Amino acid sequence: MIAVCNHDSYFVQKNDAFSVMGLLPEQKITAVLRMLAYGASAYQVDEITRMGKSTILESLMRFYGAIKYIYTSEYLRTPTDMDLQRLLKKGEMRGFPGMIGSIDCMHWMWKNCPSAWQDAYGDKKMSKKYHLEALASFDTWI
């Protein structure tokens, strides 16, 4: 929260034209995190956080921009040769030589698969599955 507030003054609590304190940064960020964590819409979050829908959507867009700006250079970049060497060395120390990261796969049952996509995601038993994959290093650097 501190990093986001330092990046974008929108999240800092300020007085309005009538000297009334505005929304807390915790309110704005909580609304955004609820939307992201639960897949909720602004309509579902507005009463919990006591914020307007337009403010929630503005907070979401600004939060996304702040996170992208703050963390892209370290966590959301292409690995360098030095990064790969470090990962290979850690993997070798743990007994997995030649392994850059670990792949975690799962088959997720898609209950409400759109009918237009059913051929692409169906299996022999006509159940709809979606295959999710993630690659991460030991320190969760993705």
Task: Give the per-residue pLDDT at 6.
Answer: 94
Structure tokens at 59: 């907070």
Range of the domain at 114: 81-136
pLDDT of 142 > 90? The answer is: no
Between 40 and 138, the more confident residue is 40
Residue found under tokens 């993997």: 91
Question: Does 141 reside within a domain?
Answer: no
pLDDT of 134 > 90? The answer is: no
pLDDT of 104 > 60? The answer is: no
| Distance in angstroms (rounded) separating the CA atoms of residues 135 and 142 | 6
Per-residue model confidence as pLDDT tens digits over 114-133: 666 666 656 656 566 555 55
95: phi then psi, degrees, rounded to nearest 5: 95, 15
Q: Based on the structure, what is the number of domains in the chain?
A: 2
Contact yes or no for 32/24 (Cβ under 8 A) = no
Per-residue model confidence as pLDDT tens digits over 52-103: 898 899 999 999 999 999 988 877 777 788 888 887 888 788 777 777 665 5
Last residue of a domain, one of 47, 75, 103: 75
Question: Does 47 reside within a domain?
Answer: yes
Per-residue model confidence as pLDDT tens digits over 2-40: 999 999 999 999 888 888 898 889 999 999 998 888 888
Indicate whether 71 and 6 sit together in one domain: yes
Task: Give the per-residue pLDDT at 65.
Answer: 93
Task: Give the per-residue pLDDT at 123.
Answer: 62
The DSSP result for the chain, as a single string, is: -HHHHHH-GGGS--B-TTS-B---HHHHHHHHHHHHHH---HHHHHHHHT--HHHHHHHHHHHHHHHHHHHHHHHSSPPPHHHHHHHHHHHHHTT-TT---EEEEEEEE-TT--GGGHHHHB-TTS-BEEEEEEEE-TT---
Between 111 and 18, the more confident residue is 18
pLDDT of 109 > 70? The answer is: no
Which neighbouring-strand residues pair with 106? 132
Last residue of a domain, one of 75, 92, 114: 75
Query: In 3D, which of 99, 78, 77, 79 has the Cα closest to residue 88?
Result: 99
Give the pTM: 0.59
Which neighbouring-strand residues pair with 104? 134
